[in-house]
Structure 1
Amino acid sequence: MSYHVYSGEAETREPLLTGGYLEPDHLDSDEGEIIFDRTSNLKHDAVGSTRRKLTYEEAVEEAGFGLFHYLLLVVCGWANASDAVEILCVSFLLPTARCDLQLNSSDMGLLTASIFLGMMVGGYMWGYLADQRGRRRVLVMSLTVNGLFGGLASIAPRFWLFLLLRFISGVGVGGSIPVIFSYFSEFMPRLRRGAMISALATFWMAGNILAAGLAWVVIPNTWAHFQSWRLFVVLCSVPSLTSALLFRLLMPESPRFLMETGQEKEAIRVFQMMYKLNTCGKGKAFRECSLCCRSKKKPELEDSRTLASRKEQLVNIVKKALLPVKQMFKEKLKTRSIALVIVFYCISFGYYGLWMWFPELFERVEDGGSPCANVSRPSPLHNQSCYPVKTAVYMEGFVIAASNLPGNIFTILMMDSTGGKALLCFSLFMSSLSVFLIYLVHTKSQSLILSCVFSGVSVIAWNALDVVGTELYPTQLRSSALGFFTGVGRVAAITGNIVFGKLVDTNCAVPVLLVSGLLLTGGLAALLLPQTRQTELT
Structure 2
Amino acid sequence: MAVITHETKTQFKSAPFDVALAETEFGRYNYFLIIVSGIIIVNTVLEITGIGYVLPIAECDLNFSETQKSALSCIGFVGIICGSYIWGLLADTLGRRKVMIPSISIAFFITIISSFSINFIMLITLRFINGVFTCGGSATIFAYLSEFHFSKKRNRVIMGASFFSAIVSISFPFVAWLIINQDWQLKIEFLGIIYKPWRLYLISCGLYGLLGTICLYNCYESPKFLLCIGKQQESLEILKKIYSINTGKPSSEYTKGSQRVDKLEFGTIEYTVIYEVIYPIAFLLVASGMKFVGRVKILFLILTICGTCSILSAVINIPIIGIFLYLIQLLAGIGVTVISSLSVELFPTHLKTMAVSLAFMFGRFGSVFGSNLFGLLMSNHCEKAFIGAGTMLILSGFFIFLLPKPVKTVLPTKNNEPIENENDEDIYITKL
Q: Give, in angstroms, the shift of residue 490 of structure 1.
A: 1.7
1:281-312 Cα deviation digits (max 9, x unpaired)? 379721169xxxxxxxxxxxxxxxxxxxxxxx
Q: Which position in structure 2 is the counterpart of 1:243?
A: 212
**Structure 2 residue corresponding to 1:445, chosen from 316, 320, 341:** 320
Q: 1-side partners of 2:141 and 2:223: how far apart?
A: 14
Q: Does the 8 A contact of 2:4 with 2:236 survive in 1?
A: no
Q: Secondary structure at the match of 1:183?
A: helix
Q: Which position in structure 1 is the counterpart of 2:190?
A: none
Q: Which position in structure 1 is the counterpart of 2:371?
A: 497
**Structure 2 residue corresponding to 1:391, chosen from 266, 269, 274:** 266
Are 1:434 and 2:331 counterparts? no
Q: Which position in structure 1 is the counterpart of 2:227?
A: 259
Q: How does 1:139-538 map to 2 (within 5 A)?
A: 139-225=100-186, 226-248=195-217, 250-281=218-249, 285-287=253-255, 389-456=264-331, 458-532=332-406, 535-537=421-423, 538=425
Q: Give, in angstroms, the shift of residue 438 of structure 1.
A: 2.2
Q: Does the 8 A contact of 1:108 with 1:501 survive in 2?
A: no
Q: Give, in angstroms, the shift of residue 70 of structure 1.
A: 0.6
Kindly tell me: are residues 165 and 222 of structure 1, through their superposed partners in 2, closer, same or farther at Cα, counting changes over 3 Å?
same
Displacement over 6 Å in runs of 4+: 40-44
Q: Does the 8 A contact of 2:18 with 2:421 survive in 1?
A: no
Q: 2-side partners of 1:106 and 1:198: how far apart?
A: 37
Q: Does the 8 A contact of 1:42 with 1:50 survive in 2?
A: no
Q: 2-side partners of 1:246 and 1:428: how far apart?
A: 34
Q: Does the 8 A contact of 2:4 with 2:233 survive in 1?
A: no
Tell me the TM-score normalized by structure 2: 0.85
The letter for the 2-side match of 1:232 is: Y
Q: Does the 8 A contact of 1:83 with 1:207 survive in 2?
A: no
Q: Give, in angstroms, the shift of residue 535 of structure 1.
A: 4.2
The letter for the 2-side match of 1:271 is: L
Q: Give, in angstroms, the shift of residue 515 of structure 1.
A: 1.5
Q: 2-side partners of 1:243 and 1:82: how far apart?
A: 8
Q: 2-side partners of 1:152 and 1:41: how far apart?
A: 46
Q: Which position in structure 1 is the counterpart of 2:37?
A: 76
Kindly tell me: are residues 43 and 111 of structure 1, through their superposed partners in 2, closer, same or farther at Cα, counting changes over 3 Å?
closer
Q: Give, in angstroms, the shift of residue 206 of structure 1.
A: 3.4
* Structure 2: gaps spanning 5 or more residues: 187-194, 258-263, 409-419, 426-432
Q: Secondary structure at the match of 1:285?
A: helix
1:426-450 Cα deviation digits (max 9, x unpaired)? 1111111111122234455324322
The letter for the 1-side match of 2:376 is: K
Kindly tell me: are residues 121 and 113 of structure 1, through their superposed partners in 2, closer, same or farther at Cα, counting changes over 3 Å?
same
Q: Secondary structure at the match of 2:206?
A: helix
1:468-515 Cα deviation digits (max 9, x unpaired)? 011111101100001111111121111122223334334333432322
Q: 2-side partners of 1:245 and 1:87: how far apart?
A: 21
The letter for the 2-side match of 1:485 is: A
Kindly tell me: are residues 93 and 439 of structure 1, through their superposed partners in 2, closer, same or farther at Cα, counting changes over 3 Å?
farther
Q: Which position in structure 2 is the counterpart of 1:294?
A: none
Kindly tell me: are residues 512 and 107 of structure 1, through their superposed partners in 2, closer, same or farther at Cα, counting changes over 3 Å?
farther
Kindly tell me: are residues 134 and 396 of structure 1, through their superposed partners in 2, closer, same or farther at Cα, counting changes over 3 Å?
same
Q: 1-side partners of 2:158 and 2:349: how far apart?
A: 16
Q: Give, in angstroms, the shift of residue 147 of structure 1.
A: 1.7
When the two chains are superposed, the root-mean-square deviation of aligned CA atoms in Å is 2.4
Q: Does the 8 A contact of 2:307 with 2:394 survive in 1?
A: yes
Q: Give, in angstroms, the shift of residue 150 of structure 1.
A: 2.2
Q: Give, in angstroms, the shift of residue 63 of structure 1.
A: 1.2
Q: 2-side partners of 1:203 and 1:107: how far apart?
A: 33
Q: How does 1:8-23 map to 2 (within 5 A)?
A: none
Q: Secondary structure at the match of 2:292?
A: helix
Q: Secondary structure at the match of 2:341?
A: helix
The letter for the 2-side match of 1:460 is: I
Q: Which has the larger radius of gyration?
A: 1
Q: Does the 8 A contact of 2:240 with 2:252 survive in 1?
A: no
Q: 1-side partners of 2:181 and 2:4: how far apart?
A: 66
Q: Does the 8 A contact of 1:80 with 1:203 survive in 2?
A: no
Q: Which position in structure 1 is the counterpart of 2:189?
A: none
Q: Secondary structure at the match of 2:12?
A: strand
Percent of paired sites with the same residue = 24
Q: Secondary structure at the match of 2:253?
A: coil
Q: Does the 8 A contact of 2:139 with 2:356 survive in 1?
A: yes
* Structure 1: gaps spanning 5 or more residues: 1-34, 290-388
Q: Give, in angstroms, the shift of residue 417 of structure 1.
A: 3.4
The letter for the 2-side match of 1:245 is: I
**Structure 1 residue corresponding to 2:19, chosen from 45, 58, 64:** 58
Q: 2-side partners of 1:101 and 1:419: how far apart?
A: 49
Kindly tell me: are residues 284 and 265 of structure 1, through their superposed partners in 2, closer, same or farther at Cα, counting changes over 3 Å?
closer
Flag the structure with more relative contact order, 1 or 2, with Cα contacts below 8 A and sequence separation at least 6. 2
Q: Secondary structure at the match of 1:71?
A: helix
